[in-house]
A = this chain, B = another copy of it.
Amino acid sequence: MKGTTFAYPMYLFSGYFTMGHHSDITKRFFLLAKHQEIQALRHLSSNCKIVKAVTEMIHQLQRERGMSNVFLCSRGERFATQRAQQETASEMSEKTLRSLLNALYLSNSDNGLTMRLVTTITFALQGMDNLKDLRSKVALQQLTPTESTNAFCRLIAALIDVIFEAADVANDPAITRLLVALFNFIQGKEYAGQERACGAIGFSSSHFQQSLCDRITALTDSQNHLFETFSKFADDTELSMWQQQLESDHAQHLSRLRKMICELGETDTCTAELSEIWYDIATLRIDAMQDIEEHITDRLIEKATLRIAQAEEELRNNELLIASLNSSPPTGDTPISMIYDKTVKGLSMEGTHSEMGITSTSLSAHKSFYDLIRQQAQHIQDIANELNGAKQALNEQKAIDRVKLLLMQQGKLSESQAYKKLQSAAMEQNIRIAELAQRMLESLI
């Protein structure tokens, strides 16, 4: 970008103040707005590529977590080969992510990164650097299944945070909506993965403790909440893919198994063979979710590319307009200006006098220029309004997360217990969970 922004031929500008209505600096800022939009879209496009690689890496880690769990639970008897193969797949996706991070962010200081996004990425990288250690401990069975699972969970949570931040800094309404949909979907899928692990523990030990049942219920509720938000922000294609999945055979199977878990008493036992059925069905479901994820991340990159092309086209048109502006002398009338535009805010003095408005109705370049400036000002307002809903959904999710963490720290609760507590308090007060979480945070400030 450097150097291109201001390298306009001089005929576009005709001195510090033109004889017409518009000074050079106004024209330059007018063009700069579109340049900044293009630059922001390029950064957003980079972020979408990173989000795609992060999404892929999360999926591989989820698989590796599941297999490591089975491997450790069976004291190394099951999934030894699969786990080793999965290691390679995980490493591949990690390598892709690292190369992209290097190419998109480290080779150019104009990377559009915010301190927040960089910090979130650094935190995830710190975890990724220690995957080797984790894997060797799993291979040597130096960890309990819980310890291994927790280590994977933490890294996956850190990677999901990267997607959250990418959604939070995005500024194109359509792309932001899709990023918000993706974030909620991936978080939901992560809880689906954790539910698979919890179920596997219960079925393989042939009974479900009450605490395990509660955890599974909380994970199911969290998923429902997240997929609901996903549905609000996803486009039609993703929605219908999701609808198909909800109606699929494995979804029905899963419901039946979930119901069975809830109905089992603490002392009831179930056949350990269900363990593999549970694992297979839950895995089918999660793999189908990956199709939707991939679809979203592909479309994110497409959309970003398209938006860049559109904005570049708009820039060319703007440049042509500025050129024609300089070749068409302004009329001697009252200039077309925001200071005379009755539709512009700032008035407190409206009287009964008929006020001078924009009198020129000719299609002059000056009129077009003012119209475009006015439209651009309206456009950024519209964007802000459109972004509002998506950003609010993100903030609500963040508020729930933060309150959960507070409850976990203060009440020594698990994440699921904290969610459950929040959920029942919200039901009691007859408000949405997000609303309760936000109120709780406000009362802390």
- Least CB distance from A289 to B in Å reads 17
B6 with A106: CB separation less than 8 A: yes
Within 8 Å of chain B (Cβ to Cβ): is A301?
no
* Given the contacts A2-B2, A147-B353, A337-B133, A346 and B119 also touching, CB distance less than 8 Å: no
A408-419 contact mask (Cβ, 8 Å, vs B): 1 or 0: 100000111000
**Which residues 384-443 of A sit at the B interface, judged by CB distance below 8 A?**
384-385, 388-389, 398, 401-402, 405, 408, 414-416, 441
Within 8 Å of chain B (Cβ to Cβ): is A361?
no
Within 8 Å of chain B (Cβ to Cβ): is A237?
no
A353 with B194: CB separation less than 8 A: no
The count of identical subunits is: 2
Pick the residue among B22, B109, B154, B416 that contacts A2 (CB under 8 A): B109
* A414 to B101 alpha-carbon distance, docked (Å): 53
- Least CB distance from A308 to B in Å reads 13
A380 with B130: CB separation less than 8 A: no
Within 8 Å of chain B (Cβ to Cβ): is A53?
no
* A157 to B349 alpha-carbon distance, docked (Å): 13
Chain B residues positioned under 8 Å from A106 (CB to CB): 6, 25, 28-29, 32
* Given the contacts A110-B2, A373-B122, A346 and B29 also touching, CB distance less than 8 Å: no
Within 8 Å of chain B (Cβ to Cβ): is A360?
no
Q: Identify the stretch in A33-41, A82-90, A264-272 within 8 Å (CB) of chain B at 4 or more residues.
A: A33-41
- Least CB distance from A349 to B in Å reads 5
* Given the contacts A129-B337, A339-B130, A339-B151, A194 and B348 also touching, CB distance less than 8 Å: yes
Pick the residue among B126, B144, B335, B374 that contacts A133 (CB under 8 A): B335
* A133 to B117 alpha-carbon distance, docked (Å): 47
**Which residues 53-71 of A sit at the B interface, judged by CB distance below 8 A?**
none
A115 with B150: CB separation less than 8 A: no
A18-36 contact mask (Cβ, 8 Å, vs B): 1 or 0: 0001110110111011111
A338 with B127: CB separation less than 8 A: yes
**Which residues 151-165 of A sit at the B interface, judged by CB distance below 8 A?**
151-158
* Given the contacts A29-B101, A101-B25, A119-B380, A385 and B445 also touching, CB distance less than 8 Å: yes
21 A-B residue contacts at CB 8 Å?
A: A22-B126, A25-B106, A29-B101, A29-B125, A40-B114, A116-B380, A119-B376, A119-B379, A126-B337, A127-B339, A130-B340, A134-B339, A150-B350, A151-B340, A154-B344, A154-B345, A155-B339, A158-B344, A194-B348, A198-B349, A215-B348
